[in-house]
Amino acid sequence: MISNPLIATVLVFALIALGEWISIISRARVPMLLTAMIGFLVLSWTGIFPEDILEKSTFAALGSILIGPAILHMGTMIPLSILKSQYKAVLIALGGVVSSGVLVLTIVPLVFDYPTAVAGVGPISGGVIALIVTSEGLKEIGLAATVVIPALIVAFQGVMGMPLALNFMRRYARKMIQQIDDESFIPVGDVDEIAATTERGKKSAIQSSATLKLFFVFVGAAVGVALGELTPIHYSLWCLGIGITGLKLGLFEAKALERSNSFTITMIGIIFVVIGTMADVTPQQVLANLPAIILVLILGTAGITIGGYLVSKLVKWHPYKGMPVALTALFGFPGDYILCDEVSRSVARNEQEEKTIFNELLAPMLIGGFTTVTIASVVVAGILINTL
């Protein structure tokens, strides 16, 4: 029965729905992704879920296709004027990566060995791409047994990073509420207001078609993917850039996927992909490599947090705002977006405050995530793997 694609999809979707429900009733203290990932592991390990449930679902395959359009959509959520002001987020994110790398490379070799440290540094500061770079390098030099370390770090790093980032973001949001009450808070630009200034009169039926809007988003994402294959620049950066530029030139509307009524299904598909990164993790692998994994996760998380704190002070940002930006290295997209949504929804007292908090948090979190997960972690992994 579970072999039916729809039934398999509903079972995994139930974990996401449960996570969303727990997130709502806990006022975002328990992130949705955390519940979904841990629930998937437990059900897979106990045999309740078959090993290939995601393959039977086929929904994760759809999710992998939707990553490009979703990243382009993220670009349409950040007007260029706001993006230019986010150089501090880039510095904070890089500060976390550097601090984490120094801490792991200094302490882990003293307890285990240098290859173990290298196996963890790239993935702890990024995600799947850094995992692939590290794993391929380890296999090429005959250290295939060590490949499980970066895989498990990528699988569990969100469990470390998301609750910590959520805690800092909630504290910062509460400070924002106090500043709003004191009338001392200066909000960033509102995407909706900026988009409204670009609208010119009544739109034609063609301009208003959700199908055509979605088609143009897919075309832009396809161009980004093609450029990623033709150049050494990863497709996610191309998609982000196309979204930002397209919004500026009027090729896309602000919040493109939401305007085409497609954002929710896109996010669910991508969450299926994120959960799928846990599919090959076994209890035996966790137990055998647990000491090294725990040490790298603790040192890496501490290093990222310390680096984020120090650079936040240097650029005159409140640490509660800056440290989550650095911690995006541990979960990236879509976790960064989900946390912004959960915090704004749970802390705000009305819709206007919710929008204000969301706009304040989103841009630096997205920029921080792209800086670490897409760029810095891949560079770090590529350099360090050559030192083995």
State residue 195's pLDDT score: 44
H or E element at residue 177: helix 148-182
**CA–CA separation, 277 and 263 (whole Å):** 22
Contact in structure between 346 and 70 (CB atoms under 8 Å) = no
State residue 215's pLDDT score: 92
**CA–CA separation, 122 and 150 (whole Å):** 8
For 226, the token pair is: 């093609």
Determine phi and psi for 369, rounding to 5 degrees. -65, -45
For 167, the token pair is: 């805690």
Q: What average pLDDT does range 272-285 have in this prediction?
A: 76
Average pLDDT of the chain to the nearest whole number: 81
| pLDDT one-digit tens code per residue, 118-127 | 888 878 877 6
| pLDDT one-digit tens code per residue, 296-322 | 999 999 999 999 999 999 999 999 999
Query: Cβ-count burial of 336 within 10 angstroms (0-12 exposed, 13-18 middle, 19+ buried)?
Result: buried
**CA–CA separation, 40 and 158 (whole Å):** 14
**Which is higher by pLDDT, 298 or 284?**
298
- Looking up tokens 């810095």 gives 376
**CA–CA separation, 250 and 257 (whole Å):** 15
User: 384 pLDDT exceeds 70?
Assistant: yes
Spatial CA neighbour of 365 closest among 301, 320, 307:
320
What is the CA 52 to chain-centroid distance, rounded?
25
**Which is higher by pLDDT, 145 or 338?**
338
| pLDDT one-digit tens code per residue, 352-372 | 888 888 888 888 888 887 777
H or E element at residue 287: helix 283-288
Contact in structure between 134 and 290 (CB atoms under 8 Å) = no
User: 5 pLDDT exceeds 80?
Assistant: yes
| pLDDT one-digit tens code per residue, 127-147 | 655 666 676 677 777 776 677
For 219, the token pair is: 């075309």
Indicate the range of 186-195, 224-233, 277-286 predicted with least confidence. 186-195
**CA–CA separation, 332 and 281 (whole Å):** 20
The percent helix, strand, coil of the chain (3-state, each to 5) is 80, 0, 20
| pLDDT one-digit tens code per residue, 165-214 | 989 999 999 988 888 888 777 665 544 444 444 444 456 566 678 888 88
Task: Mention every residue, 6+ apart, whose C-beta is less than 8 A from residue 190.
Answer: 355, 359
> What is the model's pTM?
0.68
**CA–CA separation, 93 and 74 (whole Å):** 18
User: 17 pLDDT exceeds 70?
Assistant: yes
CATH architecture of 5-182+219-386: Up-down Bundle (1.20)
Query: Cβ-count burial of 221 within 10 angstroms (0-12 exposed, 13-18 middle, 19+ buried)?
Result: buried
Domain ranges of the chain: 5-182+219-386
| pLDDT one-digit tens code per residue, 27-76 | 656 667 778 888 898 898 888 988 888 888 888 888 888 888 888 887 78
